[in-house]
Structure 1
Amino acid sequence: MKTFAVFLRMADEEKSVRYRSDHLAFLEQMRTAGHVRANGRFPDGSGGLIIYQAESLADCAALADQDPYIRQGARNSEIHEWEAVWAD
């Protein structure tokens, strides 16, 4: 499995508020399925970051594109493969 950092940049603040509960439910499903390792918002309101585990960039993009924030146009995504070093 590879690790990917997915930046969710704010696109529409009103939609972000409207679809927040759907977005959080989606993240919980992805976490349960083993695809999301961490997530959180940026306190400055610019968006958030999700750390995904996937086999490839294409697989990560397919997962990220299912996020209600992306589907509804609340956020734009930017995906980077990340060679993470995790503390034990």
Structure 2
Amino acid sequence: MAYFAAILYMEKPELNTTYRPQHLAYLEELEKEGKVHAKGPFTDGEGGLVIYKADSYEEAKILAEQDPYIVQGVRSLKLHEWGMK
């Protein structure tokens, strides 16, 4: 199991509150499955961060790309494997 940092940069702030409940519900389900290590918004309002736990980059990418914020274009995605120690 590896950790992957999904940086979600704000693209359409006017849609953020519309899709926030779906985004949070999605992450809550993944937390129950043990696929989310940590999550939270940036305090400057520019987006947020999700740390996924996955067996591969490809799995983490699929999880991150299914987030309603990404699907709806509210935020853009940068995904990096994270060498948590």
TM-score, structure 1 normalization: 0.94
Measure how far apart 1:16 and its partner are. 1.2
Residue number in structure 1 paired with 2:72: 72
Measure how far apart 1:17 and its partner are. 1.2
Q: Is 1:47 aligned to 2:47, yes or no?
A: yes
Alignment of 1:1-88 (within 5 A): 1-85=1-85
Measure how far apart 1:14 and its partner are. 1.3
SS in 1 for 2:43: coil
Measure how far apart 1:65 and its partner are. 0.9
TM-score, structure 2 normalization: 0.97
Question: What is the aligned length?
Answer: 85
The separation in 2 between residues aligned to 1:17 and 1:76, in whole angstroms, is 16
Q: Which runs of 5+ in 1 are unaligned?
A: none
The separation in 2 between residues aligned to 1:39 and 1:12, in whole angstroms, is 20
